[in-house]
């Protein structure tokens, strides 16, 4: 089997998630691609979390 396409897709979505987090951290309004709700930043001790109200976007970034 050839996994290169799968790996590419994963890398793409990871880069997209990083881009979204960067925008939110920069204070920009970013909307969920699925439900079009505003994404909110929820920082906690060890992770930064960006999520929408409905939970279809749920991105976590470790800060350590
Ligand atoms: Zn959503």
Q: Which residue range forms the structural domain that includes residue 42? A: 4-62
Ligand 1 centroid to Cα of residue 19, in Å, is 16
Q: What is the pTM of this model?
A: 0.72
Residues, Cβ < 5 Å to ion ligand 1: 32, 34-35, 52, 54, 56-57
Q: Which of the pair, 62 or 34, is modelled with greater confidence?
A: 34
pLDDT for 1-59, tens place per residue?
677 887 788 888 888 888 999 999 999 999 999 999 999 999 888 988 999 999 999 99
Ligand 1 centroid to Cα of residue 34, in Å, is 5
The three-state secondary structure class of 38 is strand
Number of structural domains, the chain? 1
**CA-CA-CA-CA dihedral for 18, 16, 29, 35, to nearest 10:** -130
């Amino acid at each position: 089997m050839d996994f290169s396409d799968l790996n590419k897709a994963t890398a793409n979505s990871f880069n997209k998630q990083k881009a979204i987090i960067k925008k939110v951290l920069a204070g920009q309004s970013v909307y969920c691609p699925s439900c079009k709700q505003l994404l909110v930043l929820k920082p906690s001790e060890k992770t930064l979390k960006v999520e929408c109200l409905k939970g279809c976007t749920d991105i976590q970034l470790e800060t350590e």
